[in-house]
Amino acid sequence: MNPPIKPIVRVALDVPLATLFDYSADESVVPGQRVLVPFGTRKKVGVVMERVAESPLSATRIKPVLQVLSGSALLSARFLSLLKFCSNYYHYPIGQAVFTALPTRLRADKPITIKPILHYRLAGCPPAIASLPKRKVIALRILEKLAAQTCNLQQLKAISATAATQLKWLLEQGWVESCEAHISSPGLPMGGAVVAHTFANAHTLTAEQQLAVDSVVRARGYACFLLQGVTGSGKTEVYVHLMHQMLQRAGQVLLLVPEINLTPQLEGYFRNRFPDADLVSLHSGLSENQRLHNWQQAQSGAAQIVLGTRLSVFTELPRLALILVDEEHDTSYKQQEGLRYSARDVAIFRAKQCAVPIVLGSATPSLETYFNAQNGRYRLLKLTERALAAASLPTISCINTKQTQMFEGISEKLLREIGLRIQRGEQSLLFINRRGYAPVLMCTECGWLSDCKNCAGKMVLHLKDKRLRCHLCGYQVRLPRACPGCGHADLQPVGSGTQRIESALRERFPDARILRVDSDSTRNKRAWKIMREQIQAHEVDILVGTQMLAKGHDFPALTLVGVLNPDSALYSADFRAGEKLFAQLMQVAGRAGRAEKPGEVLIQTAFPDHPLFLCLQNHDFAGWAATQLAERQLAGFPPFVYQAMLRAESKEETEVYAYLNQARVAAVGLNRAVEILGVVPASLARRANYVRAQLLVQSGSRSELQQFLHAWQPSLNNIPAQKLRCSLDIDPLEF
């Protein structure tokens, strides 16, 4: 008698193959489980994606599932559907897409212990406050907070960084006890009875803010809103009131932010506004255990608010009620390797999938988003004034660098204004988007430049370390004493970076308190937190920084912003350069005058009459966007076409161009309604000794482009590419 045929499950594995793998399994194995399976001579962790009645493989070739891995809850059918969409749309192997979305600990077969989510409360009779030693200030604050409500550890850490140590002492004394957090059922219907929670409603909304909140709250099912608000208009306050509404419905909220540097201050802000809400953050700064713990809190339904960077868009949220994408225009939302997804676009798909509203917030929305709002695909909500009645938009003016005296790259007028701010006890910010001392070192005799031997770029001078560094590949050398080309000793720095500007300011204002903020100065883990506290405490007179300071920060004493060297973007080959520059300058200008004192922005440029600067001075985003959209329509650029970029790189130039030319021939042979451009070098034609080139395909129809890509993919798989790094980038941002 033949043995009964076991069910077949299709498993996603972390391998670069665009297929699922069939295994036999018991009836108990269901989609969403992590399993251990044989794969060749190895054992690999996989995720069961579906069950099927039969397999095209013969029974002798189908191996059994070895083990169902414990320690994690099932991945929901909706979540698996999201990952299938990403694999299909971004043309990335399904297994690698699945494992990209999971926390690192869930990608391995090591045992996982799910720790209970603990809350803390007063136990028995706590001591009289007066009896506590005076040195136990933090313990006293913990007791006071627990007297009002139960809290988890993260909520108590908002009191002090030493809260964990003091909590342990209170537990040992028997004055505090732990209890498992109550998790609401994921199936709890939303929109019914109001769920009570503490909301520290510290601000009265303006009429525009209230209209925005009401519009989103009234939405039923999926709706995409563009919240376009000038800098300082209180977009975060709108987010807070929307969160309040969704928490009342027992829903979960996902808030995406573009950079890890913005998460700590936002986390503290939201904890203060929702002191009894369970909030978790997800970003690359967490340890593997912390990320897993926070991810599982969200998956279980315990975390009510999830705050994170782009990868957090793949967080399981059973009661998702609202998605917020702050600074939606930011290019940080686009992953540039592996699964090249846009977190903003995936968030929009997810909102549609879950039938919930999504809010895209920005002072300078991307032109794709703005175009969708103009044609009615998204709903446009505007905040045209700053939230504080006493605060007004800063005045913006240009300094013509061709007609003014300069001191180390800083105009005399800007230096005078900085001096006035120091006298008045106000803060100034000088924005230059180049770190290091100077972008390049040059020989005045033979014209030698500090080229990187591995890249098509230049090596940046870091004078303090006496090094030349390539910011692209990391290669560095000692600062030469003489020209490597002719031996001449006169080597001069060309251009300015943050370090050179800092040095010039120290020479001009020897008594001023100057702080440089860039990726070099904030390399240590706590450096940026300490710097931010110094700025808030008014222990800094002049800030010198890169784009780290351009967005999301509120420094009330900052009244002057100076912008140095913005002109290179005006003649860039990148068609998005103007859009990025306008957004960047509008964001950094928005740091000035956010409180009662008026703000001023001075932009040093050789082209003061350029339309971009004229629109900036009038805070006219709509005018600039209209100009850019008209140019893009004539040129046939997004949002009027949809694009896909095939990239290849290798140490052998001939292999790169042979592969791409074969790919182009295969594309042309499909005879589809798409435009296939020629094979060209990448904008950075050589990086880390790899030659780089690309092939662009575009179409006026997204569906036509996708159909073409699915038909093209088998041909790409059949082209020999053993020594190549190849990638297909859908909706590319970099060229």
Q: Which of 513, 491, 492, 493 has its CA nearest to residue 502?
A: 513
Q: How confident is the model at residue 548 (pLDDT cuts 50, 70, 90)?
A: confident
Q: Which long-range contacts link 528-533 to residues 24+ away (Cβ below 8 Å)?
A: 528/261, 529/264, 532/265
User: Whole-angstrom Cα distance, residue 635 to residue 575?
Assistant: 10
Give ∠ CA 609-615-617 in degrees, rounded to 5. 80
Q: How many angstroms separate the Cα of 4 from the Cα of each of 26, 54, 56? A: 11, 13, 18
Query: Left, alpha or beta for 509 (phi > 0: left; psi -120 to 50: alpha)?
Result: beta
Q: Is the pLDDT confidence value at 664 over 50? A: yes
pLDDT for residue 264: 74
pLDDT for residue 4: 54
Regarding predicted confidence, which is higher, 552 or 417? 417
Most confident segment among 123-137, 256-270, 502-516, 536-550: 502-516
Q: Is the pLDDT confidence value at 226 over 60? A: yes
User: Whole-angstrom Cα distance, residue 228 to residue 234?
Assistant: 11
pLDDT for residue 131: 67
User: Whole-angstrom Cα distance, residue 396 to residue 588?
Assistant: 11
Determine the 3-state secondary structure of 405 from DSSP.
coil
What the block records as the tokens of 478 is: 């000692």
Q: Is the pLDDT confidence value at 183 over 70? A: no
User: Whole-angstrom Cα distance, residue 362 to residue 256?
Assistant: 12
- Sheet harboring 357-362: ordered strands across? 279-282, 305-308, 252-256, 320-326, 357-362, 223-229, 379-383
- Best CATH choice for the domain 207-258+291-383 from the list 3.30.565.10, 3.40.50.300, 3.90.1300.10, 3.90.25.10: 3.40.50.300
Burial readout 605-637 (b: 16 or more C-beta within 10 A, e: otherwise): bebbebebbebbbebebeebbeebbeebeeeeb
Q: Is the pLDDT confidence value at 622 over 90? A: yes
Q: Is the pLDDT confidence value at 674 over 80? A: yes
Q: How confident is the model at residue 520 (pLDDT cuts 50, 70, 90)?
A: confident
Most confident segment among 279-293, 400-414, 434-448: 400-414
What the block records as the tokens of 368 is: 């794709």
135-161, pLDDT tens digit by residue?
778 888 888 778 777 777 777 776 776
Burial readout 378-404 (b: 16 or more C-beta within 10 A, e: otherwise): bbbbbbebbbbeebebbebebbebeee
User: Whole-angstrom Cα distance, residue 259 to residue 283?
Assistant: 9
Q: Is the pLDDT confidence value at 526 over 60? A: yes
Q: Which of 623, 626, 560 has its CA nearest to residue 588?
A: 560
Among residues of the chain, what percentage have pLDDT more than 70?
93
DSSP string across 492-503: EEES--HHHHHH
Q: Do domains 207-258+291-383 and 395-438+495-624 have the same CATH topology?
A: yes
Q: What is the dihedral of CA 85, 86, 92, 98, to 10 degrees?
A: -100
pLDDT for residue 127: 64
Name which of 369-383, 387-401, 694-708, 718-732 the model is least confident about. Answer: 387-401
482-519, pLDDT tens digit by residue?
999 898 888 999 888 889 999 999 999 999 999 998 88
Phi, psi of 425 (to 5 degrees): 75, 30
DSSP string across 458-509: BPEEETTTTEEE-TTT--EEEPPSS-TTT--S-EEEES--HHHHHHHHHHH-
Residue 492: partners with Cβ closer than 8 Å, 6 or more residues away: 441, 442, 443, 444
Residue 21: partners with Cβ closer than 8 Å, 6 or more residues away: 10, 11, 12, 13, 37, 39, 46
Q: How many angstroms separate the Cα of 594 from the Cα of each of 230, 385, 393, 398? A: 11, 11, 8, 21
pLDDT for residue 139: 82
**For the chain, what are the domain ranges?**
8-107, 118-180, 207-258+291-383, 395-438+495-624, 441-488, 642-730
pLDDT for residue 186: 40
Q: Is the pLDDT confidence value at 34 over 90? A: yes
Mean pLDDT of 258-281: 83
Determine the 3-state secondary structure of 180 from DSSP.
strand
Determine the 3-state secondary structure of 147 from DSSP.
helix
What the block records as the tokens of 621 is: 């985003």
To the question of domain 8-107 being in CATH 3.40.1440.60, the answer is: yes
Q: Which of 239, 491, 492 has its CA nearest to residue 358?
A: 239
Question: What is the CATH superfamily name and number for domain 395-438+495-624?
Answer: P-loop containing nucleotide triphosphate hydrolases (3.40.50.300)
Q: How many angstroms separate the Cα of 368 from the Cα of each of 119, 226, 228, 344, 630? A: 44, 11, 14, 12, 13
Name which of 146-155, 162-171, 464-473 the model is least confident about. Answer: 146-155
Question: What is the CATH superfamily name and number for domain 642-730?
Answer: Ribosomal protein S10 (3.30.70.600)
Q: Is the pLDDT confidence value at 177 over 70? A: yes
- Of the CA atoms within 13 Å of residue 385, those in its CB half-sphere come to 10
Sign of CA dihedral 115, 119, 124, 129: positive
Q: Is the pLDDT confidence value at 595 over 90? A: no
User: Do residues 238 and 206 touch, judged by C-beta distance below 8 A?
Assistant: no
pLDDT for residue 344: 97
Phi, psi of 85 (to 5 degrees): -60, -45
Q: How confident is the model at residue 72 (pLDDT cuts 50, 70, 90)?
A: confident
pLDDT for residue 181: 59
pTM score of the predicted model: 0.89
Q: Is the pLDDT confidence value at 191 over 70? A: no
Give residue 426's identity as a one-letter amino acid code: E
What the block records as the tokens of 383 is: 């905040």
Mean pLDDT of 563-573: 86
Q: Is the pLDDT confidence value at 75 over 90? A: yes
Name which of 57-71, 81-95, 243-257, 361-375 the model is least confident about. Answer: 57-71
Determine the 3-state secondary structure of 656 from DSSP.
helix
431-454, pLDDT tens digit by residue?
998 888 888 899 988 889 999 999
Q: What is the dihedral of CA 639, 640, 644, 647, to 10 degrees?
A: -80
User: Whole-angstrom Cα distance, residue 455 to residue 487?
Assistant: 23
User: Whole-angstrom Cα distance, residue 359 to residue 344?
Assistant: 10
